[in-house]
Amino acid sequence: MKDPLKARIWLALLTVYIVWGSTYLAIRFAVETMPPFLMAGVRFLVAGLILFAWRRLAGDRPAVKIEWRSAAIIGFFLLVGGNGSVVWAEQHVPSGIAALIVGSAPLWMVTLDAIRPGGRRPSGRTILGVLIGFAGIVVLIGPGQFTGSGGIDSLGVAALLLAAFMWAVGSLYSRHAPLPGSPLLGTGMEMLAGGGMLLLLGTLTGEWQQLDLQAISTQSWLGLIYLIIFGALMGFAAYTWLLRVAPTPLVSTYAYVNPLIAILLGSLLADETLTLRIVISALVIVSSVALINTSGGSIPRAKESAHQEAENN
């Protein structure tokens, strides 16, 4: 292939699309019988230790103080503010609604990227693509959930809106933060820092008193294992690498596809009905991805990328 970086970016995107789309269901299973912050903290500490030890043994240079500081900041925004808010909210809000609200992250990302000093100004087509993608999510879930007697927990909704905003801030910060040249080493550091903060948050909120190992179901254990191996090791590693080499609008399209994957898995694994509305929303979401990809959010050629040294090794 003439442009191997382009192929690797699309492979990483597909990984994020499919794997993270399935984590909504895995989180729901895990928090059924596990305290949310402790569960998330264990998830990222285990995954972080694996990544960090692997890359150090493979010969990656030790991180310096400023790189650890950046990893801690990113871990706070992405894992504590972003993922931590989602796992807490999924105790109170259905996973489909969670997928819809977290789908606002691309709106935050493009907006924040446009207003920050030296940021990327989106084209009209990029803005249109973002809005079409969000409309597709609304069609997917159904606006009726937000009117009448939907019974959506207001605190859960607020937590999910916070998650989307924090994820956008952390994602944009990570694009320019001083980090190790090895993306996987940097990811392991972010997971270690974020996982430690999540355990601290669980401690401060009294979750150790709620923890009963004998009461944890097999389904919750399997959900946690899936989140560690696929959601953290595969999905998060692919995402943090993409933030270094691909444009913000393109990377943010995961938030459009993930809800679709979540709904499809719900249909296959939880006997949820596959409706015409889902099919229509799928067409809208795919169209938004194509529009963003051809409007200044397209994949850079390898020779034009400022982060060639950050490719997976």
pTM, full prediction? 0.79
pLDDT of residue 273: 60
Whether 58 is covered by a domain: the verdict is yes
- The first and second tokens of residue 186, run together, are 């940097």
Residue 313 falls inside a structural domain: no
H or E element in which residue 191 lies? helix 183-204
What are the CA-CA distances from residue 186 to residues 19, 171, 193 (Å)?
A: 20, 13, 11
Of the spans 49-58, 278-287, 303-312, which averages the highest pLDDT? 49-58
Classify residue 279: in a domain, yes or no: yes
Identify the CA nearest to 23 among candidates 274, 312, 266, 271.
Answer: 266
For residues 8-22, average pLDDT? 90
Evaluate whether 225 touches 47 at the Cβ level (below 8 Å): no
Q: Are 67 and 197 in contact (CB under 8 A)?
A: no
| Distances in whole angstroms, Cα of residue 113 to Cα of each of 31, 252, 260 | 33, 12, 26
Which residue in 5, 15, 78 sits closest to 257, CA to CA?
15
Beta strands in the chain (DSSP E): none
Q: Is residue 162 part of a domain?
A: yes
Q: How many domains does the chain have?
A: 1
Query: Is the residue at 310 inside a domain?
Result: no
Ranking 48-57, 84-93, 263-272 by mean pLDDT, the lowest is: 263-272
Residue 28 within any structural domain of the chain: yes
Residues whose CB is less than 8 angstroms from the CB of residue 221 and which lie 6 or more positions away in sequence, other chains included = none
Write out the two tokens for 47.
Answer: 């995954």
Q: Domain span at residue 141? A: 4-303
Q: What's the pLDDT tens digit per position in 80-134? A: 999 999 999 998 887 777 777 787 777 787 778 777 777 777 788 888 887 887 7
Residue 189 domain-assigned? yes
Q: Is residue 255 part of a domain?
A: yes
What is the reported pLDDT for 305? 31
Residue 39 to residue 211: CA distance in whole angstroms: 10
